[in-house]
Amino acid sequence: MNKLVKIVNIKSDRKDEFMEGLQKTCLVFTIIGAIVWGIIGFFNFNLVEWLFGDSIITKIVYIIVGICGLINLGILFNHIQEK
């Protein structure tokens, strides 16, 4: 029985490490997105379009940042509910 508990704890630890990594990655993308929006607001210069042009890569970057923002929003409300 003790061996089973160790296996479950190892799997739980791996899941926690994965989720923490995902959260940090999403936070980095969200911060980068906020900086890009700040550059657009202050200087009327779109860094993403300047780097990638008007291509599918630009849209993918925007989609990734948007998804990361939604994940961070979920983390925010999950954290509030835990208290």
- The string over 47-66, giving b where at least 16 C-beta atoms fall within 10 Å of a residue's C-beta and e elsewhere, is ebeeeeeeeeebeebeeebe
Distance CA 30, CA 73 (A): 10
Residues 48-76 pLDDT 10s: 999 999 999 999 999 999 999 998 888 87
Domain locations in the chain? 23-82
Burial class (CB in 10 A: 0-12, 13-18, 19+), 78: exposed
Residues 9-48 pLDDT 10s: 666 777 778 888 888 999 999 999 999 999 999 999 999 9
